[in-house]
Chains A and B, each alone.
Chain A
Amino acid sequence: EVQLVESGGGLVQPGGSLRLSCAASGFTFSDYCMSWVRQAPGEGLEWVAYIKQDGSEKYYVDSVKGRFTISRDNAKNSLYLQMNSLTAGDTAVYYCARHGDKTEDYFDSWGQGNLVTVSS
């Protein structure tokens, strides 16, 4: 069974930093592209960052470019999101999401989500 378990969220002050982790199990992690998707309270889904299987390609939504960094450790079956210079607009539940088998156009598995709250 595919499992994606996020951790590392919490309350952080504006301008602060946070690192999210996603532990993957039940599949060969290194075979899949991964993304982070977020959902602000009461709002819809927003894709945030993408990383290819071997980490060679990374893409970001414009609003986080230069502030967030996605990375992965295939030996540890883990995905990460380093978030710097956080603002209230980054407050959201952050989901770790797996892309489809041999394709990147959709997300076939999601973690349970991890809440990040940016507030003073």
Chain B
Amino acid sequence: SYELTQPPSMSVSPGQTASITCSGDKLGDKYASWYHQKPGQSPVLVIYQDTKRPSGIPERFSGSNSGNTATLTISGTQVLDEADYYCQAWDSSTGWVFGGGTKLTVL
């Protein structure tokens, strides 16, 4: 079955850039999406199809995907960006797959 791997946690200072990685076999050949989830809330789509931002998502969120790694970049990270972040891709054998999630701490 297809798997996506994320670092369990990372921290960043306010105003700095956070780069969250997601790795999977030939992930660059698939579309990657990213979601954030704050405690007690539902996930929210922040990046889809590698680089696209849904309406209402700030420009500081951007994405890339190449080779075996997709990356979510948050420029000028704000305290309100503190959340769990999940990558996701679709695999023809496994279906819709999520990474294990990365807890982003902003301090």
Contact = CB atoms under 8 A, between A and B. Distances in A.
A105 B98 contact: no
A35 B89 CA distance: 14
A32 to B, nearest CB: 14
Interface string B79-102: 000000010111000011111110
Contact of B33 (A46, A50, A105, A110): A105
A44 B101 contact: yes
Nearest to B1: A62
A88 interface: no
Interface stretch (B14-22, B43-51, B68-76): B43-51
A111 interface: yes
A111 B43 CA distance: 9
A44 B3 CA distance: 13
A110 B48 contact: no
B43 A110 contact: yes
Given A35-B96, A59-B95, A61-B95, A106 B45 contact: yes
Nearest to B34: A106
Interface string A93-115: 00100001001111111111100
B98 A47 contact: yes
B31 A95 contact: no
A14 B17 CA distance: 46
Interface in A45-68: 45-47, 50, 59, 61-62
B98 A106 contact: no
Contact of B90 (A62, A104, A108): A104
A113 B33 CA distance: 20
Interface of B: 1, 30-31, 33, 35, 37, 42-45, 48-49, 54, 86, 88-90, 95-101
Given A61-B95, A105-B31, 16 more contacts: A35-B96, A44-B99, A44-B101, A45-B35, A45-B37, A45-B88, A46-B98, A47-B97, A59-B95, A95-B43, A105-B30, A105-B48, A106-B48, A107-B35, A108-B48, A109-B45
9 contacts: A44-B86, A45-B86, A50-B96, A95-B43, A105-B31, A106-B49, A107-B43, A107-B45, A108-B45
